[in-house]
Every structure is written in C-alpha cells, then in structure tokens.
Amino acid sequence: MNQATFLRNAWYMFAWSDEVLAAPFARTILGEPVVVYRNSAEAGDLTALMDRCPHRFAPLSKGQLVNGNIECPYHGLQFNGAGKCVHNIFSSAVPAAAKVKTYPIQEVDQALWIWMGDPALADVATIPLIDYHHARDSRWVSGLTTAKADYRLLSDNLMDLSHTTLIHPGLGGRDYMPKVRSWEQPNGDVVASFTTENMNNFFGEEVIPAPFVRHCDTIRWSPPSTHYLASQTSHVGSEEAVVSIYSAHILTPETPTSTHYFWSSTVPDGFPEEVIRETLIQAFDREDKPMVEAVQVRMGDAELWDLNPVLLPSDVGGVRMRRKLEALLKAEHAQANACAVESATSS
Amino acid sequence: MNQATFLRNAWYMFAWSDEVLAAPFARTILGEPVVVYRNSAEAGDLTALMDRCPHRFAPLSKGQLVNGNIECPYHGLQFNGAGKCVHNIFSSAVPAAAKVKTYPIQEVDQALWIWMGDPALADVATIPLIDYHHARDSRWVSGLTTAKADYRLLSDNLMDLSHTTLIHPGLGGRDYMPKVRSWEQPNGDVVASFTTENMNNFFGEEVIPAPFVRHCDTIRWSPPSTHYLASQTSHVGSEEAVVSIYSAHILTPETPTSTHYFWSSTVPDGFPEEVIRETLIQAFDREDKPMVEAVQVRMGDAELWDLNPVLLPSDVGGVRMRRKLEALLKAEHAQANACAVESATSS
Amino acid sequence: MNQATFLRNAWYMFAWSDEVLAAPFARTILGEPVVVYRNSAEAGDLTALMDRCPHRFAPLSKGQLVNGNIECPYHGLQFNGAGKCVHNIFSSAVPAAAKVKTYPIQEVDQALWIWMGDPALADVATIPLIDYHHARDSRWVSGLTTAKADYRLLSDNLMDLSHTTLIHPGLGGRDYMPKVRSWEQPNGDVVASFTTENMNNFFGEEVIPAPFVRHCDTIRWSPPSTHYLASQTSHVGSEEAVVSIYSAHILTPETPTSTHYFWSSTVPDGFPEEVIRETLIQAFDREDKPMVEAVQVRMGDAELWDLNPVLLPSDVGGVRMRRKLEALLKAEHAQANACAVESATSS
C-alpha cells in the first residue's frame, strides 16, 4: 500500500464551501499538506498551495492573508495566488527562487475540488457534478467524516450495498435482500444496482401507506472515487418511486490508510432535514466507519488481491470498480514513465 | 525479535474458561487474530477460527452465532466449526472456497488451550496440566495481565526468583537470600529452586508461630512457556512445609513484544482468597510488570544474547530455559524447512 | 536524519543542578539512556552511567544508592562511580565482567555537563561558560522545555532572530525590523547580530522614558549547540545600552527528533524575576516550540539541504552555523574511521 495507489491526474473533493471561510484552511490530500484560502471574500477567488514555505518549511496555513497574499507565519515571506513570493517584509529584494507549489482548485455547487497531478491536464469540465447540488431550490444535507482506512475499502463498501442487511438496521436491515446487477457505462463509470422486490416498509406507513415496499439502490462510481446513489422506494410490484433519495459519497485519500469521506443527501418532501442528517451520520460514522476501519486493521498493509479474497455475487460492482481503477493507475504510471524516458533521452 | 521467536507447534493458553461465555471472544495469539466461541452452551463445544472473514476480511468476532455457526458481521457469510462456509444469507449458492483457518482448541480444568501450528501435530495429551486446577475441592484464584514485553523476558523473570529480594517486599524482600540450583528433568522441563534457610517470617506469627522460617521456591518451566511454582515455608532447619502455595504462570505471546500472562494460585487453608489474590496482583501487575516492561524498552529490538548480558549464578535456570527453547525453535524451523524442500522436490 | 547528526566528542548540558538531588536522575541524551546521581550530598561528587544494568538491562535509575553506589532495582548488583560492579547482594563473588558505561560529567555554575564521546578527549576546559551563571550576585532565571524537533532546527531558529517579528509580539513584534550581520570568531564560534535602529519602546516608558528605542540582539553559537544572546536596548541613535538582558539557549539532543532546550536569562535591575521568567516561557514554550515542531512535521525525515530551502539574507548566521557544524561532524566521522582502520591494520 503506497502512494502509487492514488490517481494523481484527477479532481478530488477538498472541502465543503462552508469549511473554507476567511482564514487559510489546511488539509492533507494524497499525503501532501495543502492550504486553501479565498483571495478576496467577494470574488471568492481560491488559491491552493502546498502548505509548506519554501524558505524554512513552516506551515503557511498558520499565517495570515495580507492584501490577498498569504504570509508565512515564521519569517513573513508573502506569496501570491500563483505561489510566487511577492514580498519580503524585511527587504525590497524578493527571493526569486521562492516559489510554492500550486494546485488547480475550483468551487462548484458548494464543494471545492482540487487537482493534485499535472496542472496542464486539469480540465474543469471533468469535475464530477452532483445534480442536486446544482439544482435551484433542492433541499440537501451534507457532512464529512475521516476514516482510518484506504479509500478503496470505502469504495468497496459502497459498491456492495448488501452490507446494509447486516450493518444498517435503520435502512432495512435483515429485510434488505437485494438482487445485484452491475455494468459499466460508456464513459467508464461503473454502476451497481440492488433491488429488493418485497421488504418491510422501513419508512413507516405514514410515509408510504403499505406494510411492504419495493426498494432499489443504484450506485454509480466515477473515477477516482465519487459515488452517486439513487435510493428509490416504490409499492411492491411497481417501479414508480414513491420516495426517492439521492446521495453523493465522495472519497478523498488523506494518506494511504486514511480517507476524507464527504457525503450529501437530498431531503425528500415531508422529511425534516435533521432526520435525514441523523440517519446518515448513524450509518456512516457509527456503522460503516468502524467496520471498514476494522477491516483495514485485519488487512494490515497487504493489497486486497494478495490476500485472495473469496468473491460473492454481490462483489460484482466492487470488483469491476477495482479493475477499472487499476487500469487507470497503470495507464497513469505508464504515462509518467514515458515522460521520464522522453525527458531523459531529449536532454 | 520476530515471529521466529515463537514455537508454533505447541499448546498455548488462550483464556480462562469464564472469559469465554456465550458471545464470540477475540484475542490475538502469536500475532494472529483469533475468535473463539462455544457452539452450544450445553455441550461446551469450542471453536477457534482466525478472526478474519475470507471474503472481505471483517472481524468475525463482531458477528453473532446462528444455529451454532458464526455469522460475519459485514455481509453475513456463516461458518461452521470446521471453518467451512455453510450459508450465504443472500443466496443458496455457498462459496466453496470460503474457508476460515481453524485452530485446535481444548478446555481443560477451567482453561482454554489453543494450538497455532500444524493441526496434525496437536496432541491433546501434551496440554500442560496444573494439578490443583484438576483436583476436586481445591481452592485457587486466577487472573490475567497483559504486559508490553517479549514473553521470554517474563520467563527470565520467573526463572530467576532472586528478583523477589528487590522487587517484592511483601514476599520476603531483602530477607529473601536464596541458594539457587537448577536442573533439567528427563522430559526436558527445566527446574530452578531457591532456598532461603533462615528469613523473617513474612507470613506473621499467627500463621507460623516462629520469628524466622525456611522458605523454598521451586519453579518448573515446561516449553514453550508454562511455569509451575511450589512455594514451601517450613520451620528453620526443617524441610517439612507448614505453608505450601502452588502457582501457575502461563505465558502466551500476543505479539513479539507483548504477552498474555495467565496466573493462578492455590489458597492455603486459613487464608482468605482475597488476600492471596491481592498479593499476586500486587506482585505481578504492580511490581514485576513495570520492571519487565522497562527492560523491554532498554533492550529495544535486540535479542538478549546480542547485548552480551553479564550472567550471575542465579541466572542458571533462566539460561537453561533459554537454551532449551532455542533448541526447540531451531528444530521446528529445521523441520519446516525440510517439509518445504520435500514439498518442492516432490512436485 | 540519524545519530550521525550528533557530534559525540562534545560537552552537552545534562540538567540544571537543582534537577539532580539525592535520588538517581534519568534522562536520554543523544539517544542513550543516562542516569546521574550524587555519590554523596556533601561532596557533590557526580556519577553518570548508562541507565541500563549489564546483567538483565533494567534501568539503574529506578534503584537506590547504597554507600554511594547505585543498586540495580532488579537483582541488586551495585556499581561504583567508575561503573564497576562492587557488590552482589547474593554472593561474595562479584561478576568481574559487570561494567556499566560511564560518562564524564561536570557541574559548573548550577549546570551539569556530560560528554557522550571518547572519555579520553573530554577536556573540562572546553565546557561552555555562561558568564552570568558564574558571576557573584547576578540575578538570573532558568528553565527547560523539551521539543519534538531536531536540535538543528532549534539552532536555526535562534540564529535567525528575524522570526521575532512574526512570532514574538511581546518582544517587539512587527516593529522588529533588524539589519542582520554575521561573522565567524577566531575560535570558530558563529555570531549573528540583529539591529533595529528605531522601534516602538516595547519595554514601556516607565523603563526607558522614550517612545522609540534602538534594539540590538547579538547571538553567539558555540558548537555543538550552545547559544549566548545579548539583547541590548538603547536610545535611538545611541549604542549605549539602557537595558541589557543576557540569555543562554543550550540545546541537547534527546533523540534525532527531540531536543532538551535549557534556557536562562539575566534579570535586569528593577525587573521582577517572574516577569522575565513568564516572558521567556511565553516565547519558548508557546511561540517558538509549536512553530519549530510544525516545521519538523513538514520536513519529515528529510535533511534540510535535500529540501532545497530558499535562503534569505537573515539566514546568514544559521547557514554559517550549519556549515561549521557539518565540518565538525565530517571531521569527527573521519577521525572515527581512521581509528577503525588503524585498529584493524594493527591487529
């Protein structure tokens, strides 16, 4: 398990917009310390820099903003949004070599997305879009939890929702007995669906006036680690949803064995926001996270395939996701090596 | 210091019987996570499995028992006492490859013993027997402490009881000035005896009506790490014990640098159980354990002999024990290599 | 970052005198556990031994003194001030091979200094002297903080006092805009001076009756890690100090990434000791230490030059110090290798 398990040329969610206010905000992404700040509150311009001054390696995030530039808290060098040193408080001579690594960062629909790889490849059009984040007047709640586990174990967990049966009694529990299907979309996204034709009405009859319901979860993985889930509940025998809840599960590796898990969910008409929020915090923080962290402990630093996992039919989506991710990692490493060779032979 | 310091083909104490009740019970033994449960409360049938589901590596110990089988808490596979998957809650197709490693386990006189090596070699007749555990109507107390130290350092401590003088003021302290002898028994066990001909009567004259006593401790080590101690106090000049206390000190490595220390002791007539229990908790938890843990810190990851210890006469038993243990480890590794060669050449 | 970053043939401050009272006192120096004790309270004779018994590696510091010898707390061997075993409480036969490594140690003006390298090279005349520690009737305060950082990062911090501007608002803060100079003294010490010709009178007009002052800090580094600082405040335009404060900043590596930081400071006439003490605890414990520890985290286990720091004019003293220290380390390693070769060829 090493940093070669991360795709670098990809957008990763960095934070929810309301986490990054006036002050510099620090978070570790793919093992690198990053500081993000808004150059001006009105414009909302964002800067993302490595959170390490090139002078004496102090954390810039502990500094303040001066005229839209970030000032190192140790000896006062000031850097602009391009990572260039623009002011030395002690001297008119600005050190030309003082340059901080910058990262492309974008704010889209209340979320900040960062690109940790080659900036030349960062195409804003490829930022994952969550439709209900974008929709006017949609009601949704969001949160974040950081788990001590490889991000791929959290993806595995999402791509096999049959764990609901054992782990999430409040989401159906033992009644959740899905038929599982999976396919790859033309764009390379991987989808898995989980349909239970007849289960106890876990919403209660004041929501759906019937003792039993049909429930279908359809989750779509977009590389490297964004998951979009449509949870649709209908009358038994019907595919027309009476209650639909959409949710996003966006994983950003902090280190090889820890992951920022950003989540959001729509709030259907008639539901209080707090009920949905509490249900999801219960599911993610208190049910999923301890299990996935326990799996990480049991796996130690072994790669999944090296442990020869026994596969079940419900693993179909997760395995397809893993294979796709491995192909993307292999392609990225091949490209990196090719560039290294080219650079070596042309010099 | 690595796992090659553990004999694998040996019985290790896993738990006291009353630690393992209805629910699955987890403990790490020789670095491996193990879960033990009773298949049925009446029969007392025991199962010991690696505490890691072969599907997605969840800890089985967090699951429940269903018809005497253990159910994985993550996706519900059920395993029987032979480690074979017997039920998939989602499908009639049971994954044939899903097999959990099992370990021989036996309950003898209130203690559970596990065999971590080749099951074909596990002979129940070689489980260490503690006579007073077996005796009808004997009174004894027991306990467990887990120390952050290599199990061999705890054996060293037991095989040189001259540490009593400095460490255990309540067991004689400075008056404990033993003559030390050691020998190997025909079966390979190592014995060390510590005789003080004349010391203050640390029991008090209400127990032995004399100001001074003779005291003899005889400790027997059986590989890999069971110690049986007879502590006999008599009148000065006599070898006929007035008070005899027998105790067992059974060490099971948790990891290369941590050890489960199971202990028990008879309670002589006229003594309240609580007095004996408190005396031993004081001696093991508050006196021996901090010292042995401090030694572990000072030794770091060095092997004892690599640090060239200066040996004293009182080390005679501990050194004999170490040499015996090293010979057994060497034989086990040679056998393992021979099997590996045989298997390679016969294929 | 390894122990090759430590000069061994050098005096290191071990403790303030009043830390080492009647009982044995343990502290880790250059990664080695050391115990120091006073053989007799009257004479003040000091002994420094490796804090590890050569028998079973127990910490001698947990033992007691018996007739001026230290007794191992585990099995009672007693060692004299030359590290020689002089008594075995169980036997008249004293194990001849039982010898504990000793270190030269000296008490000078309320501080204990230890020599971790070749004892034959330990010249008492080279112990760093702090003049006001020695002066009769001088008032000074002292303290100690242990920081989780390489000692060289703390030296870097001291040799570039321009960090005062950002980090120490109570010592001038943004008004501290020094001109920096540095030079090497004939004896190899490195000096850096920081002069601010005109700044707000941070002492207040009750101390110096003027709104602005001139302030000059001159810091002298003596290898391996003693710093002597003269802080002189005068009227603007004058070099004649109205207030002078002298301080010592003595760094002793505990491990490659942690450092004992001993400090002291004179108390000028008219100042209460507590004001000076509180000011320095604020500066060192609450301002410098968190910053230097954050730098250590950002640097991980990289060496400074491997990270290509961008250098500023104010780094002149720190860089000169680093280069000097590196030359001394190189010389010490060359000498050690030469000795090793000589010893190999003469045998």
Q: Could you give the 3-state DSSP secondary structure of residue C204?
A: coil
Q: B167 contacts in C (CB within 8 Å)?
A: 73-74
| B307, closest residue in chain C (CA to CA) | C54
Spans of chain C, pLDDT less than 50: 1-2
Q: B160 contacts in C (CB within 8 Å)?
A: 75
Start-to-end CA distance of chain B, whole Å, equals 33
Please name every residue paired with C66 in a beta bridge, in sequence order, or none if there are none.
Answer: C69
Peptide bond into A224 cis (omega under 30): yes
Tell me the angle at which helices B151-159 and B316-345 cross, rounded to the nearest 10 degrees. Answer: 140
Please name every residue paired with C28 in a beta bridge, in sequence order, or none if there are none.
Answer: C33
Of A291, A299, A309, the CB nearest to B54: A309
CB contact under 8 A, B77 and A313: no
Q: Distance (Å) from the C-alpha of residue A63 to the closest C-alpha of chain C? A: 9
Task: Match 């007995």 to its residue by tokens.
Answer: A177
Peptide bond into C169 cis (omega under 30): no
Q: Distance (Å) from the C-alpha of residue A299 to the closest C-alpha of chain B? A: 7
Question: Which of B34, B55, B56, B84 to mutate: most A Cβ within 10 Å?
Answer: B56
Write the pLDDT tens digit of every residue in B279-309.
Answer: 999 999 999 999 999 999 999 999 999 999 9
Spans of chain A, pLDDT less than 50: 1-2
Q: Could you give the 3-state DSSP secondary structure of residue C20?
A: coil
Q: Quick one: which H or E segment has residue C17?
A: none
Q: Distance (Å) from the C-alpha of residue B24 to the closest C-alpha of chain C? A: 39
CB contact under 8 A, C309 and A97: no
Tell me the pTM: 0.93
- Which of the other chains make 3 or more beta carbon contacts under 8 angstroms with chain A? B, C
Tokens standing for residue B338: 């021979």
User: What is the distance between the alpha carbons of residues B27 and B12, in angstroms, rounded to a whole number?
Assistant: 12
Among B95, B100, B35, B39, smallest CA distance to B67 is for B39
Write the pLDDT tens digit of every residue in C28-75.
Answer: 999 999 999 998 655 568 999 999 999 999 999 999 999 999 999 999
CB contact under 8 A, A62 and C294: yes
CB contact under 8 A, A309 and B59: no
| A292, closest residue in chain B (CA to CA) | B58
CB contact under 8 A, A72 and C167: no
Strand ranges of the sheet holding A32-38, from the earlier edge strand across to the other edge: A25-29, A32-38, A46-50
pLDDT, position A39: 80
Write the pLDDT tens digit of every residue in C335-347.
Answer: 888 877 777 666 5
Sign of CA dihedral C208, C209, C211, C213: negative
CB contact under 8 A, A294 and B58: yes
| C289, closest residue in chain A (CA to CA) | A74
| B58, closest residue in chain A (CA to CA) | A295
Q: Distance (Å) from the C-alpha of residue A161 to the closest C-alpha of chain B? A: 9
CB contact under 8 A, A295 and B56: yes
- Is the pLDDT higher at B16 or at C340? B16
Of A56, A73, A90, the CB nearest to C309: A56
| B312, closest residue in chain C (CA to CA) | C95
Write the pLDDT tens digit of every residue in B209-234.
Answer: 999 999 999 999 999 999 999 999 99
C-side interface with A, Cβ within 8 Å?
Answer: 156, 160, 162-163, 165-167, 177-178, 291, 294-295, 298-299, 307-314
User: What is the distance between the alpha carbons of residues A94 and C310, in angstroms, rounded to a whole number?
Assistant: 11
C-side interface with B, Cβ within 8 Å?
Answer: 33, 51-52, 54-59, 62, 71-77, 85, 88-91, 93, 95, 97-98
| B77, closest residue in chain A (CA to CA) | A312
pLDDT, position C1: 38
Question: Which of B155, B160, B165, B166 to mutate: most C Cβ within 10 Å?
Answer: B166
CB contact under 8 A, B74 and A167: yes
| A98, closest residue in chain C (CA to CA) | C310
CB contact under 8 A, C166 and A57: no
Report, as an integer, the average pLDDT of B37-65.
90
| Average model confidence (pLDDT) across chain B | 94
pLDDT, position C346: 64
Cβ neighbours, 10 Å, residue A271: 16
Q: What residues contact A103, with CB distance under 8 A and at least 6 apart?
A: A34, A48, A49, A50, A114, A115, A116, A119
User: What is the distance between the alpha carbons of residues A148 and B84, in angstroms, rounded to a whole number?
Assistant: 31
Q: Distance (Å) from the C-alpha of residue B334 to the closest C-alpha of chain C? A: 30
- What DSSP letter does each residue of A189-223 carry, written as one string? -EEEEEEEEEEE-TT-TTTSSSSEEEEEEEEEEET
Q: A287 contacts in B (CB within 8 Å)?
A: none
Q: Tell me how far CA of residue B310 lies from CA of C95, C96, C183, in angstroms.
A: 8, 9, 52
User: What is the distance between the alpha carbons of residues A177 and C70, in angstroms, rounded to a whole number?
Assistant: 71
CB contact under 8 A, B299 and C33: no
Question: Which of B304, B312, B322 to mutate: most C Cβ within 10 Å?
Answer: B312
Question: Which of C153, C155, C158, C166 to mutate: most A Cβ within 10 Å?
Answer: C166
Q: A178 contacts in B (CB within 8 Å)?
A: 90
ipTM rounded to 2 decimals: 0.93
pLDDT, position A21: 87
> Quick check: C46 and C105 in contact, CB under 8 A?
yes
Domains defined along chain B, listed by start: 10-126 (2.102.10.10), 131-328 (3.90.380.10)
User: What is the distance between the alpha carbons of residues C319 and C184, in angstroms, rounded to a whole number?
Assistant: 11
Q: C62 contacts in B (CB within 8 Å)?
A: 291, 294
Among A153, A100, A131, A165, smallest CA distance to A246 is for A131
Q: B165 contacts in C (CB within 8 Å)?
A: 75-76, 89-90
What number of residues does chain C have? 347
CB contact under 8 A, C89 and B156: no
CB contact under 8 A, B33 and A298: yes
Question: Which of C155, C297, C312, C319 to mutate: most A Cβ within 10 Å?
Answer: C312
Q: C51 contacts in B (CB within 8 Å)?
A: 298
- Give the count of Cβ contacts less than 8 A between chain A and C: 68
Please name every residue paired with B219 in a beta bridge, in sequence order, or none if there are none.
Answer: B192, B229
CB contact under 8 A, C167 and A73: yes
Q: What residues contact A105, with CB distance under 8 A and at least 6 apart?
A: A14, A36, A46, A47, A48, A112, A113, A114, A115
| A71, closest residue in chain C (CA to CA) | C166
- Give the count of Cβ contacts less than 8 A between chain A and B: 66
Q: Cβ-count burial of B296 within 10 angstroms (0-12 exposed, 13-18 middle, 19+ buried)?
A: buried
Of C57, C88, C95, the CB nearest to B307: C57
